[in-house]
Chains A and B, each alone.
Chain A
């Protein structure tokens, strides 16, 4: 049954959907107090940021003579915000629709979703951690909330643990030993996971992270996991004292991943090299490819000030506050109703 029909039959359900407007209102009011500019970023773009793990939506722009220019739906407002920061904008945020293809069949994803990103100049990832703590309290309207029967204490500071410490603590893996793919394969095999010829380092890493680390995160209190392997972040700055990891964190509440943050990479040469590497990977994977955004590299050359930022799924925040485990429960028109997939035999 379509959601609008269900609402007609069960008017008590409206309340759950109205959580969204409360979350967005609280977010705007938080950033207004912090004196951030709200920016409207484009959804129709010519150059998605090259990130090989994403599948983009491709469309066409036609001129009056029906000549075709490839166009894409934005996967995140990050690049336009950074260009404006290079132009001198300062602290800013966007709440916008973003699109990621192939993200169906999941309780946590909708191919069209609402993303919140904010950027703080002069800041690093630890400053953004503090922002997250304050924002969540502002949205929850206090320091506690209940999710799936669990009382969550939002009092600051939240639990903070590095990926390396989490691997040690929850999986008994010394992260220093895990960086070489040969060692990682050995460790993973000993643990009884399946390893194939073409299994990548990132897959080995996620086998442990998803099975042995993630289930422990965010119980009773949010957890900030930080310093992820540099491999996994195309636009993050590497940590100076240990370039194997990036200055990046994610935060979790009751197993729900809510945000992904990093100190922003400001070096145009490294950024361009990473884009090229990501595009080569996209090609290898047979995914939609496109030219990277040269204008963005130019903006970095002009100079992106030291800054740090984060992407937070508004839909995930709504799930948390509406106490549901299915993103579709927060959307009046979830993609799975708009595009019902054929039943599997």
Chain B
């Protein structure tokens, strides 16, 4: 198994932590009060989706896990699982909701996504930084309200509720950051 130095961590590095595969979802270099450098991370278990914090010594070597990415089509939701299909092999994979976090709100049936595969198991999804979704329900922005920064909520085609500026109208397509669920721009 190859190893990776904490200095080479990225947001999509996969490591073995306490014997289980984890994704580094966040990392921060820290210099505690007085002393040498450390790297604080948030690690998402690829088994349970649970996120925990761990602080490594800067420069420490950690076992890296190789995770493959395969393009798959999102089919439907079944109980707590999201079902995807590899369109070349027609294999189907279930991903538990816990592994998808906030992303479940922006999945569109039949769209193709980058699925992370660990061995035979689909363990997550590499979402783009932006998703474009159509606004299906929006109220008119109150007339005469010119206060900048004023917002309203709309519903997009996946059913998710998004806070947007007043000028967004029904039928328009908007870009959303799927990680945080925040409105980015008119697409």
Contacts and interface: CB of A to CB of B under 8 A. Distances in A.
Contact of A203 (B8, B35, B40, B149): B35
A211 B34 contact: no
A109 B31 contact: yes
A246 B57 CA distance: 24
A206 B28 contact: no
Interface residues of A, number: 35
B60 to A, nearest CB: 6
A232 B53 contact: no
B30 interface: yes
Contacts of B167: none
B34 A51 contact: yes
A192 B148 contact: no
Interface string B125-167: 0000000000000000000000011000000000000000000
A203 B57 contact: yes
B28 A108 contact: yes
Chain A facing B: main interface SS: loop
A211 B55 contact: yes
B169 interface: no
A109 B40 CA distance: 14
A344 B30 contact: no
B79 interface: no
Nearest to B36: A203
Interface in B1-50: 8, 10, 18, 28-38, 40
A194 B60 CA distance: 8
Interface stretch (A99-107, A116-124, A293-301): A99-107
A106 B148 contact: no
B11 to A, nearest CB: 9
Given A105-B28, A202-B35, 8 more contacts: A12-B148, A51-B34, A196-B60, A203-B57, A210-B30, A211-B53, A211-B54, A228-B33
